[in-house]
Structure 1
Amino acid sequence: MSVLPRNVPASTDLHDVHWLRSSYSTGANNCVETARPGSGPSAGLLAVRDSKNPAGPALLFSPESWAGFTTALR
């Protein structure tokens, strides 16, 4: 079994993804954005990046891990 990547150094390396920002985000760019890569080694994972630094790194989570994290925040 191969180890899945956990981050990408530059979120711009994730091609053909559509980044989404929470509707609760203000215009101040103080939120995170998420995307679902459809191909490559990160396919099926959820990418998360800082909206203040869109060319910066992105963290990669399994959908189950992200759901557990957001549930714990509530």
Structure 2
Amino acid sequence: MATDTVTTPQPGAKPRPDLAGAEWLSSSQGAGDVQIAFVGGCIAMRDGRHPEGPALIFTPAEWEAFVLGARDGEFDLT
């Protein structure tokens, strides 16, 4: 289980949760290319095909805005 350790690298910077030991979840839709983890009050998202790569970190408000935008087609590439 992941710890709830969160560090802030410098004043005004977004908190960065400790992702070591995070429990990553894959989508039941698609090929599991995107994984998320709930850690330290934040939501982390990474490329499941390259789990050693970087992760995007969202606050709960940012995550909600992202999900609502995706549902509304805001990010469609058509």
Q: Provide the TM-score with structure 1 as the length reference.
A: 0.68
- Partner in structure 2 of residue 40 of structure 1: none
**Regions of 4+ moved over 2 Å:** none
Query: With CA pairs under 8 Å and 6+ residues apart, which has the higher RCO, 1 or 2?
Result: 1
Aligned with 2:13 (options 3, 27, 30): 3
Alignment partner of 1:66 is 2:63: yes
Distance 1:5 1:53 in 2: 23
Q: Does 1:20 align with 2:30?
A: no
Match of 1:21, as an amino acid? S
Report the CA distance between 1:21 and its aligned residue: 0.7
Larger radius of gyration: 2
Number of positions where the alignment pairs a residue of Structure 1 with one of Structure 2: 61
Structure 2 spans left out of the alignment, 5+ residues: 1-10, 72-78
RMSD: 2.2
Structure 1 gaps, min length 5: 38-42
**Sequence identity (%):** 39
2:64 aligns to what SS in structure 1? helix
